Amino acid sequence: MDLKPKEFLTEEEVQKGLRVVIWDGLTSEVMTSFTGGAFLVSMALLLGASNIEIGVLAALPMFTNIFQLLSIWLVGKYNNRRAVTVYCAFLARFPLIIVGFLVLTTTSTSINILIFFLFFYYLFGSIAGPSWNSWMKDMVPENMLGDYFSKRSRYTQTLNVVLSICLALLLDFVRNFYKEYELTVYGIFFIAAGVIGIIGGLILSKAPEPQSYLSNTNIFALFKRPMENENFKRLLLFNSAWVFALNIATPFFIVFLLKSMKLPISYIIVLATISQIFSILTIRTWGAFSDRYSNKSIISISAPIYILCMIGWCFVGSFPHLYANIALLVVIQMFSGMATSGINLSLTNIGLKLSPKKDAIVYLSVKNIVTSIFSAIGPLIGGFLADVFADKSLSLGARWVSPHVNQVIRVVSIHDWKFLFIIGALLALLSLELLIGVKEIGEVNKDVVRRIMRKSIRSNLKDYFLIGDLIYMHQQLKAVVTKRVKNSRPDKT
């Protein structure tokens, strides 16, 4: 396997690399579909996982990103990003196969065993990440970063939608008619994921790498470089606060649906699929606007939408009929998918944009490490808070009294995990204030982008009807809060 980089890539080699990386993304998505999201949480609950252990599982991918420093050291020593990425990708797949075989061959598989082997799966994946990011930054032309990765995301998300629904239907069938084999199905899922992941590593090895040379400096001296860049530090501060707020709540959405709402896993996957579909429908739009204007403006528009969706989770279960709660979940997932695609794409692109080409791997690694620490702390605190609020509730309602009617209408009931959703939404709202200090090259005022987006919406409803007036909602809410605060202050005499 020849993994040596080349001094110069021809146009034909670049185009080949772009195609290969899309196929690599598809195999990685298959692997993630088999072992992540609702399937991993459901398997963990089947093994008897507590709220804290669910938090640990959610924190593992972020916590292991601390070891991305090893990626910088390896790339600096060998100056071969492709070799680091491909070998670590192979090493990351084998723990999945081991978990699958343990589930199939032993009767005493525990949540601790699952956590132990997943640690190594995420560890090697984390080491591969920075070298892959730096490799892609040099291989993909800068003027098409947004369009290319939005295209790649559309393909991978489409595959995730189809595959996840099929797997969920299979799992519900086994649960309903062959419940004793449910854990066996999860074991097969893990083995299949590992095998397909190894195939993906072979595919990725075919992508060419342009030669780069990392400064031969002490690794900790390299780590300090991004910290001396004031603008990059402001990006780190916002990104860390944002992911911390979200990860207090988001890992427990699935737990809430499985344990509190008692929904079948196929329902949960379909809801997640709705989010994926709306992400697919809008990511091309976000990508085009991020290339044409600025990633910061896209975050300013899409982040408030996601915060409103987090608040919407507090109303799930408040209706007496299941179909009404499902309808609310559908609306939440629609707008969550739209917002998430814009946020994730923009955070990735702005990190690439603010990273100097020579030290891109260092900057991107520092960004991933720092934000991952806060991402890992979030679900751990969330798991702790879930236990704290387990026996507490807060109900808000309205009472109608008349000569013939005396009825109390429950508007919202907050209990268990819903406290996490409120806390996460409030912290996320506060974190948006930190985005103001980030300066982006080619930045366009968000009001200009809003006007252009609204014009696009009106001229092409088929493509843009999903965004509508929600892009003004954060501004309107802020104006209302500011007005009330001013009105509540006593007049000076």
The three-state secondary structure class of 6 is strand
The three-state secondary structure class of 406 is strand
Contact 434, 237 (CB under 8 A): yes
pLDDT for 436: 83
Question: Can you tell me the mean pLDDT for 106-111?
Answer: 79
For residue 436, the 8-state DSSP code is G
pLDDT for 469: 45
pLDDT at 461 over 70: no
Q: How far apart are CA 62 and CA 118, in angstroms?
A: 12
Q: How far apart are CA 343 and CA 346, in angstroms?
A: 5
Q: How far apart are CA 310 and CA 250, in angstroms?
A: 8
pLDDT for 463: 43
Query: DSSP labels for 236-282?
Result: HHHHHHHHHHHHHHGGGHHHIIIIIS---HHHHHHHHHHHHHHHHHH
Q: Which residues pair with 407 in a beta bridge?
A: 400
pLDDT at 242 over 90: yes
pTM, full prediction: 0.73
Contact 196, 29 (CB under 8 A): no
191-205 confidence digits (pLDDT tens): 999 999 999 999 999
* Nearest CA among 477, 162, 186, 153 for reference residue 342: 153
pLDDT for 34: 92
pLDDT for 492: 44
pLDDT for 482: 52
Q: How far apart are CA 302 and CA 446, in angstroms?
A: 11
Question: Can you tell me the mean pLDDT for 69-89?
Answer: 85
For residue 207, the 8-state DSSP code is S
DSSP-based helix, strand, coil % in the chain, nearest 5: 80, 5, 15
What pLDDT band is residue 96 in, cutting at 50, 70 and 90?
Answer: very high
pLDDT for 217: 57
Q: How far apart are CA 199 and CA 16, in angstroms?
A: 18
pLDDT for 195: 95
Q: How far apart are CA 219 and CA 483, in angstroms?
A: 50
Name, in order, each residue with C-beta under 8 angstroms of 301's C-beta and a sequence gap of 6 or more.
342, 446, 449, 450, 453, 471
What pLDDT band is residue 4 in, cutting at 50, 70 and 90?
Answer: confident
Interstrand relation of 406-415 and 393-401 (parallel, antiparallel or unpaired)? antiparallel
Task: Looking at mean pLDDT, say which of 69-83, 87-101, 262-276 comes out highest.
Answer: 87-101
Half-sphere exposure of 249 (CA within 13 A, CB side): 22
pLDDT at 120 over 70: yes
Mean pLDDT rounded to a whole number for the chain:
81
Q: How far apart are CA 308 and CA 142, in angstroms?
A: 33
**CB contact burial 419-452 (16+ within 10 A = b; e otherwise):** bbbbbbbebbbebbebbeebebeeeeebeebbee
Other Cβ atoms closer than 10 A to 53: 18
309-348 confidence digits (pLDDT tens): 999 998 888 788 889 999 999 999 999 999 998 888 888 8
- Sign of dihedral through CA atoms 453, 458, 461, 465? positive
Question: Can you tell me the mean pLDDT for 118-135?
Answer: 89
Longest CA–CA span in the chain (Å) reads 86
Segments making up each domain of the chain, as ranges:
11-388
Query: DSSP labels for 296-310?
Result: HHHHHHHHHHHHHHH
What pLDDT band is residue 216 in, cutting at 50, 70 and 90?
Answer: low
pLDDT at 93 over 80: yes
15-64 confidence digits (pLDDT tens): 888 899 999 999 999 998 899 888 899 999 988 888 889 999 989 988 88
359-416 confidence digits (pLDDT tens): 776 787 788 788 888 988 999 999 898 888 877 777 776 777 777 777 766 666 777 7
pLDDT for 447: 53
pLDDT for 409: 66
Contact 174, 266 (CB under 8 A): no
57-75 confidence digits (pLDDT tens): 989 988 888 887 788 788 8
Lookup: tokens for 300: 């300013």
The yes/no answer on whether domain 11-388 falls in CATH 1.10.1070.11 is no
263-289 confidence digits (pLDDT tens): 998 899 899 889 888 887 887 778 777
> Considering the chain, what percentage of its residues have pLDDT values greater than 70?
84
Question: Where is pLDDT greater, at 161 or 409?
Answer: 161
